[in-house]
Amino acid sequence: MAEERRRSAIQRIATYGVHLADDQILLVRASDLTEVQGRWFLPGGGVEHGEHPTEALVREFAEETGLHAVIGPQLGIVSDVRTRRNGEVVHSIRIIYEVTTTSGTLLDECAGSSDLAQFTPIEQAREMPLAHYVIEGARMAGIDLSPR
């Protein structure tokens, strides 16, 4: 039984960025390659073995948005456990950073975990299906994205 639990338990470390510009927040939409298609995320993703979290965030930001991110201060950590449809229990540790500036051209990710990147007005974001860590990360940055 303990061995079965170990095989179905995964720990995932990921890093995400809260980037604001002109009262808008940068969000990415989950693609059909995920279990949560249509939900909105902060740009970011998994930290690879041996990779520093800020390097992972720069890489993931570019992959998902086409933008080069300048990483600011760490805002906090969101930790949660959920069970995937296949029965795997995933403990996610999400390191949230402020992204102070970006350069480049906003582009959508092709054939990845997201399929659309956009700057969204804060009021509109409150009405969107946001992942829970987006609301928590925004709160860490002083923004209330709770549904109204």
Structural domain containing residue 111:
2-140
Supply the pTM of this predicted model.
0.91
Query: What pLDDT was estimated at residue 15?
Result: 98
Report the alpha-carbon distance of residue 71 to residue 144 in Å, rounded.
Answer: 21
Domain count for the chain, please give it. Answer: 1
Give the domain CATH number at 40: 3.90.79.10
**For the chain, what percent of residues have pLDDT higher than 90?**
85
- 59 inside domain: yes
Query: What pLDDT was estimated at residue 148?
Result: 80
> Region 83-98: what's the mean pLDDT?
95
> Tens digit of pLDDT for each residue in 99-115?
998 899 999 998 889 99
Check if the beta carbon of residue 51 is closer than 8 Å to that of residue 60: no
